[in-house]
A and B are shown apart, each in its own frame.
Chain A
Amino acid sequence: MTVTVAIPAVSTRAMTVLSALLEARTGQQLASYRSWRLDMALKPLLREREIDTLDQLVALLLDGRDATIGDRIVEALVNGESSFFRDQPVFGLIGKALVARAEASGQHGQRLRIWCAGCATGQEPLSLAMLFADLAESSGIAMPEIVATDVSEGALARARSGRYTQFEIQRGLPIRTAMRWFNGDRGDWVAKPELVRMIQFRRQNLVSEAPPPGRFDAVLCRNVLLYLAPAIKARVFLSVADALAPGGVLVLGAGETVIGQTGLFEPSRAYRGLYQRVAAGMTRNAA
């Protein structure tokens, strides 16, 4: 038996305008086969503005009288999917790589620096903070400085609040870890202030703005690049490469790779699944 699901039609004009807005603001591309996502993601905004269709929303946008509507559309369309310890094994690798780096430097007390680029609602930097709080206890390394950035103010506000639903907290977070670092509050779980304080949250457009100042020992840019056009992706790789300290590691999403994407990085020999900068003068061809 074939089940047919009715997906509301999105007009070509609405699709074109909204996709162009998203790409101009964030570099993210919205493939035409994902047009259903437009309707789903923007439904709450349509309800709020008491309009029925995406064409009416586009008219509101082009009208120019509502200064906030463009921001609200982009906020709704940015893919904010995230979970605690997503692709769990990679966190073990990051821990190993950074503990080894601290030990190799011979300066256990030296603070390493981590940048989470595209941190969405904060589960990734909070996972790192919990991981390194444990590692600081067990291996004696200093707690790293964690800088988390995202283009969406809405996502960052949620990240700073540290408040998650039962569904969100259960995805990937061991119950003992949740009990140690979160308090229950009216059905939600709220990160303890000392955990949130371990992270500096900042708004940053990865595509058009400079990275946070200084060099980082690890950069996590997971499940961000796959939405970007090749030319924009190349720019982001360059920006991340500049932000990475010599010998630092780049962490991508489980389905992402540098192979065929950039000549600036290569798979790490020591940590399978992580990437490192190609030595100066050795840049490879992307193809």
Chain B
Amino acid sequence: MKTCLVVDDSKVIRKVARHILETLDFEVREACDGREALDSCLAAAPDVILLDWNMPVMSGMDFLLALKESEVASKPKVVFCTTESGMAYIRAAIEAGADEYVMKPFDRDTLESKLQIVGMA
């Protein structure tokens, strides 16, 4: 079973994402900001991370850059999942190393297709 770390400061989004991911046979872990997510990855790297952009303590972008520099053994796939839909944001995320990008709101089909694209579903 593959593991997905859902990183979002919104409890509702985490709950929705968890529900969808569990129907796709993922084991789901949660973090509510980038700092918590980094600790979680250092403890045990997930297969894929669903990553919000705007969060307190550490943003999604700061987390992504920190993850690249970190000692996390096997680098997980990173799918940004954010309300930011401008081309400049998307380009910045891809250049920073994100594998895919989901614009909120999303549904099951969208999430499943993005996970398929990164080879996780």
Contact = CB atoms under 8 A, between A and B. Distances in A.
B85 to A, nearest CB: 6
A208 interface: no
A175 B94 contact: yes
A166 interface: yes
B91 A170 contact: no
A175 B109 contact: no
Contacts of A110: none
A174 B117 contact: yes
Given A166-B85, A166-B103, A171 B94 contact: no
A187 B104 CA distance: 12
B102 A184 contact: no
Contact of A170 (B87, B94, B106, B116): B106
Interface residues of B, dominant DSSP: helix
Contacts of A229: none
A172 B118 CA distance: 11
Contacts, number: 34
Contacts of B106: 170
Interface residues of B, number: 18
A184 B113 CA distance: 21
B100 interface: yes
A113 B82 CA distance: 40
A171 B110 contact: yes
A175 B86 CA distance: 12
B114 A184 contact: no
B53 interface: no
Given A88-B116, A170-B110, A172-B113, A179 B100 contact: no
Interface in A141-200: 166-167, 170-172, 174-176, 179, 184, 187
B101 A175 contact: yes
Nearest to A175: B101
Contacts of B110: 167, 170-171
Top 9 closest A-B pairs, CB basis?
A: A175-B101, A170-B110, A172-B113, A174-B117, A184-B87, A166-B103, A171-B113, A175-B100, A171-B109
Interface of A: 83, 88, 166-167, 170-172, 174-176, 179, 184, 187
Interface of B: 85-87, 90-91, 94, 100-103, 106-107, 109-110, 113-114, 116-117
16 contacts: A83-B109, A88-B116, A88-B117, A166-B85, A167-B107, A170-B102, A170-B110, A170-B114, A171-B109, A172-B113, A175-B90, A175-B101, A176-B94, A179-B87, A179-B91, A187-B85
